[in-house]
Amino acid sequence: MSILNVDNISFGYDDKTILKNISFRLLKGEHAGLVGDNGTGKTTLFKILTGNLISDEGRVSLASNIKVGHLDQHIMLNERESIFNNLRDAFKELYIIENKINSISNKLSTMEPSKMNKTLYELGELQDKLILSDFYNIDSIIKNIATGIGLDAIGLDTKVSKLSGGQRTKVSLVQLLLKKPDLLLLDEPTNYLDKEHVDWLSNYLNNYPNSYIVISHDTEFLNKITNIILHIEFSNLKRYPGNYDNYTKLSELEREKYINDYNRQQKQIDKMEKFIEANIVRATTTKRAQSRRKQLEKIERIEKPQTAQKPNFSFLTYREPGKLIFKSLQLDIGYNYPIIKGLSLNLFRGQKIAITGCNGIGKSTMLKTLLGVIPKLSGNIQYGEFLKPAYFEQESKYTNNTTALEEVCNDFPDKTQREIREALAKCGLRQEHIMHKMNQLSGGEQSKVRLCKLTLTPSNWLILDEPTNHLDLESKEILKKALHKFSGTVIVVSHEKEFYENWITGVWNMEKYIQTQK
């Protein structure tokens, strides 16, 4: 049974086509991964599926009574409520039923006998709905899933207003899982999750009884959770059976065949064109040449194989600093209270350090303190000479109407628009991307705009907070090589060991460090 049908969907901005005649269906119980490079239209397709965008052509249809749940990259929660109360909102309908049961029960003692039987029958039906929905175990269900995703470490009584962007995403993810929609749409759900929580989510989704589509660049995760892959490339979508590894094999074979067929046809066309050119003017061979020309005109030409635009990150170096980058002594870090206490660390010129530890432990707060974005609570920081840091923040919220081009131009007024366009193109952003407003771009496209700013900033100390979130696989590899090549000092916060393990000089595990400070 098909629960989702997408028929000939097309969508574009201005004169640029993003999606072209896309058609596919999702069957009940199918677990699909939606893959493709940054900017190919994955998030756009999700917005069309959820009704947040209207396609230029085509139709999206759902089976009757299908509930759709969507986790996107920017979520709104009730700021004034605790994590636990936000999670309870997943069961709003059941709490309404409970209130109705209580209201009816309170009226039973004064009810007329003639109405009693009908009311008791209604009461029984409502009660059955709660029992079938496991209503009386809601608190336990919430705690189990919240623990699986890692919210227990934050504290379920914590107000949402105190949470980081990554922690809020976790709350939204748990809330969505608790609702158990018939069709689950997840956009990069493993961002901000530690490995143990990614493993838990993999097992949960594997056993999920309903259908889902997941956007992810985590191939190990996709291999565990998918039995269908939907691949978007060059405005088109193709469906592949099996997991990510199977899709890779099939798509590579298809691409090889396509290239071979194209090359074979080009040789045939070239041979026919040369024959026509050599024989069209000779009386004895002109008829043969004309016949060959007609054959050539009838050939259904294979389009030249397309290649995706690859980014090419590279970082400008500032003058060499002194040997010491910074030295911290008994540093207490936090906002209203310390979340990291007694931090004593040394960083020296040329070191490349990966900062690891569970989400919410204070890695981002530490970076902001070292950079002076937020004040230290106590302790000392000594900095070396001639430092020129450049900072990539984990998330940036864009509420204004600036385009990607304007965003970079505003920060670099001394550069020409042509120079900015070239820099954005070098970071893998095409013309249609740079003319879009920042809040309309996908997470990966926004990351590339911010990385573009970093590449235009001469520095001798790069500080990057989860730079691989939202980036496609190829972009991650190219960024990794650029950081390896960079001659300055690097600090990177990352939950992806495979991203940093081959080029760093050391690891600061904040969990272990904090344990030694107690």
Question: Measured on CA atoms in the order 508, 510, 515, 518, is the torsion positive or negative?
Answer: positive
d(CA 171, CA 156): 10
pLDDT score at 284: 87
Distances (CA, A) of 203 to 3, 145, 165, 222, 497: 23, 12, 25, 12, 21
pLDDT score at 517: 44
pLDDT score at 399: 67
Report all structural domains of the chain as residue ranges with CATH numbers, in order of start. 2-67+181-246 (3.40.50.300), 84-163 (no CATH), 324-517 (3.40.50.300)
Q: Of all helices (H) and strands (E), which one includes residue 478?
A: helix 473-485
pTM: 0.81
**All residues at 6 or more sequence positions from 429 whose CB lies less than 8 Å from its CB, including other chains:** 39, 404, 445, 448, 449, 452
pLDDT score at 518: 39
Q: Which residue has the tokens 């960083």?
A: 347
Cα torsion through 148, 149, 155, 161, rounded to 10: -160
**All residues at 6 or more sequence positions from 129 whose CB lies less than 8 Å from its CB, including other chains:** 94, 97
pLDDT score at 354: 96
Q: Pull the structure tokens for residue 383.
A: 């900095």
Give the pLDDT means over successive 10-residue stretches in the chain (518 positions). 94 84 95 92 92 93 93 74 94 92 86 83 91 92 94 90 83 94 94 89 95 94 96 93 95 92 94 92 90 93 84 95 96 86 94 89 91 93 96 80 93 95 92 84 90 97 94 93 97 92 93 56
pLDDT score at 516: 43
Q: How far is CA 496 from the centre of its chain?
A: 14
**All residues at 6 or more sequence positions from 424 whose CB lies less than 8 Å from its CB, including other chains:** 404, 405, 408, 433, 434, 448, 449, 452
The identity of residue 459, as a single letter, is S
